[in-house]
Amino acid sequence: MDTSGLANPAMRYRNTRGSVGVPGGRGVAADESSQLTPAAAFDDDDLTDDLTHTPATDNTHGDHDDDGNDSGNLSNDEDDENAEFDGTLIDKSERDRWSAPRKVINEAMIRKAVVDELATHYDDPDDIPKPEEIQLEEVTTLVLSFMSIDRINNLVGFENLIKLQLDNNCITKIENLDHLVNLEWLDLSFNMITVIEGLDNLTKLTDLSLYSNRIERIGNGLNNLVNLECLSLGHNLLSDTSELAVLRRFKRLRMITLKENQFPADEEYRNLALAHATELRYIDYEPVDAAKASEAKKMEINIEYEKREESEQKALEAMKAQLEERKRMQEAGLEPLLDLGARLVEKDELHARLIDDPAYREAWDQYMIKFESVVAEERKQFYKRYLIRKAAEATFQNALKKVIDGKEEELMNLIETFNHRYKLSIRSRQPEVIEACMQSVTELSDSLLELETLSLKQARKLMEEYMESCRKESQDWTQTLNALSRRLVDLDAEFTAQIRRQITAATSAAEGEEDAGDEKEGDAADAIEPNVVDSMDGSKRRQRPDAATMADNNAGLNMGLQGERESYTTLVTNAHDAHIMVIDRTEGILSDGEASRHAAQMEQLVRREQTRRRQRVMEIYTLCERYMTSLAKELEAAKAERSASATSGALAEPSTR
């Protein structure tokens, strides 16, 4: 049997002999339905059927009689070596396979297949696990070849599968494999599959065989299988060699089978395959010739694809860089600076009118280059300052932690010293000693609070120094932002002045040409008038050029500006005002954001320190109260013991006498 020539990886299965009983099984409880075990993945309807079944609605493979056998479409004449199926000649062995009763994948079939596979790895037949001992959820290799299966189903719960063989069956559609994300080896050869689909989630596949099916197009069904090393598409109905470009996705592809398709010429598809899959070592079971591979890489189509891929890679890298830049700017609160240039024209009527004019377009492009250069330069500086501030904040936090941790150690030493005295006083059972210890609790409380107060003072000093540095940094940041705004406004003023000069020159030239045109028009009319006559036969009359036509032909300047100097001057002024408004608004957003960030940071520091302070004082009071409560109980018990001892001694004295 030819299973596409792919190298079979070693069969893998964990020996689970001794694990009696399969979890789940038929009849899963309602509350377990969301976590079906492999044994419970089979439909009850499938389990109640026999191993064979007759498709109720799909009559693609021939009519079925009451016994579940095919009849009608395929000839039963044993002497006929070939038959026709859907217009395609098939040999007798394939016809027999298609005329066999169809089967459905079920638990019994799977258990038997696993045992049969395991039998090849055991020397002693007695060591082979029984079908009922197989832990289905641990199966990694499943061979269901030559089973007359016509549909892929009932594999839910087999997510550990690494190898799956479904070759030499009656499957027409690739389906229900999305959950088998660990598959590395899939054999669907010798079926009746027509479309490559349902493989998008199987990104770990390295070996895939679709040999001898009815596939007409590669399509997009293989696009996600970037780890493929071996691919078999031979003996199908492929005819479009341009689809072989998909092989460029498979950088690790070493072996491919494409023979016995409907490509125009064997040499053409082989050369294209070598051009697109540059790491191929075998094609159609034959080693790749190094000279042919080298020539294929020089093919024009390969060079074109390489240029296209290089361009796409650059575009992808540029997009990735833009996304990373936007992420950094968002982190630093500088996102409004990213699209500032584009926002300038949102309400710019002048730009909308003149953007197609070459002179205006050139002036605008030069302005944008300068504008974006200034913004990008300042954006980098702002981000550097942001990183410096983050480093300063980290330094402050470390210093604050060091102060708090130092006082924490002193505090714990005081508590441990007192705790030792507390235990000694309890053991003494002497009321006087316990009372003295109770007085020491107050001293402990005072000492702990004093330490906490000292810690608070040191922390507050650090915070004040840090806040002052942040305040100065915020002021410098605001001044830098103001300077940026002024630079941008100056740039816009230069651009506005340039456009004003262009409009003035264009309208002046147009008006001058119009006056000159009127004078020439009179002279031309006098010269032309004798020659302008109406033809008696109705032929066309020579037309005198009008002033507007002459002005248009002679102007050659900014379009649409003749006689509209005042209107366009107003538009220029409005555009400049709109640009300044956008710049000012951006500055306001950034300034407000900086102020809010600074205020929020300071508030967070103060609140966090206050919370820590309150929590620590509460802990001190709670600890001392617990000591006092415990000592009070012990004091009462000690006094009771002393009283009982005194009473006992008094009663014993008369008897002694």
Domains of the chain: 349-515+561-643 (1.20.1270)
**Cβ(210)–Cβ(194) below 8 Å:** no
β-bridge pairing 88-91 and 82-85: antiparallel
DSSP H or E run through 52: strand 52-53
246-263 tens-digit pLDDT: 898 898 999 999 999 999
pLDDT of residue 653: 62
Q: What is the pLDDT of residue 91?
A: 60
pLDDT above 80 for 414? yes
Residue 28, Cβ neighbours under 10 Å: how many? 18
pLDDT band with cut points at 50, 70 and 90 for residue 47: very low
pLDDT tens-digit map of 61-97? 333 343 334 333 333 444 444 444 444 445 666 666 6
What integer is the mean pLDDT of 493-497? 90
Collapse the DSSP code of 194 into the 3-class scheme (helix H, G, I; strand E, B; otherwise coil) and give the result. coil
**Is 52 a residue whose pLDDT tops 70?**
no
Amino acid at position 379, single letter: R
Q: Identify the DSSP state of 172.
A: -
Dist. CA 576–CA 488, nearest whole Å: 11
412 burial class (0-12, 13-18, 19+ CB within 10 angstroms)? Answer: exposed
Q: Which two tokens stand for residue 4?
A: 């596409």
Q: Which of 17-31, 467-481, 599-613 has the lowest mean pLDDT?
A: 17-31
- pLDDT at residue number 510: 56
Does the pLDDT at position 194 exceed 90?
yes
pLDDT in tens, 262-302: 998 777 888 888 888 888 999 999 998 888 888 877 777 77
CA distances from 255 to 151, 195, 281, 295 (A): 28, 22, 6, 19
pLDDT of 36 strictly over 70: no
How many whole angstroms separate alpha carbon 119 and alpha carbon 129? 9
Q: Both tokens of residue 39? A: 């044994």
What kind and span of H or E run contains 526? helix 431-528
Residue with tokens 């210890």: 437
315-339 confidence digits (pLDDT tens)? 888 888 888 888 888 888 888 888 8
Could you count the other beta carbons within 10 Å of the beta carbon of residue 91? 11
Residues 226 and 180 sit within 8 Å (Cβ to Cβ)? no
How confident is the model over 119-161, as pLDDT tens digits? 887 777 777 788 888 888 888 999 999 999 989 998 888 889 9
pLDDT value for 314: 81
CB 474 within 8 A of CB 595: yes
Measured CA to CA in angstroms, residue 67 lies from 45, 54, 63, 102 at distances of: 18, 8, 11, 11
Share of the chain above pLDDT 90, in %: 21
* Residue that is written with structure tokens 């109640």 in the block: 48
To the nearest 10 degrees (0 to 180), the angle between helices 358-428 and 431-528 is 180
User: Residue 342: pLDDT above 70?
Assistant: yes
Q: Is the pLDDT of residue 360 over 70?
A: yes
Confidence check: pLDDT of 573 > 70? yes
Is 90 exceeded by the pLDDT of residue 189?
A: yes
Task: Evaluate if residue 4 carries a pLDDT over 70.
Answer: no
- HEC profile for 445-514? HHHHHHHHHHHHHHHHHHHHHHHHHHHHHHHHHHHHHHHHHHHHHHHHHHHHHHHHHHHHHHHHHHHHHH
Residue of 258 and 1 predicted with greater confidence:
258
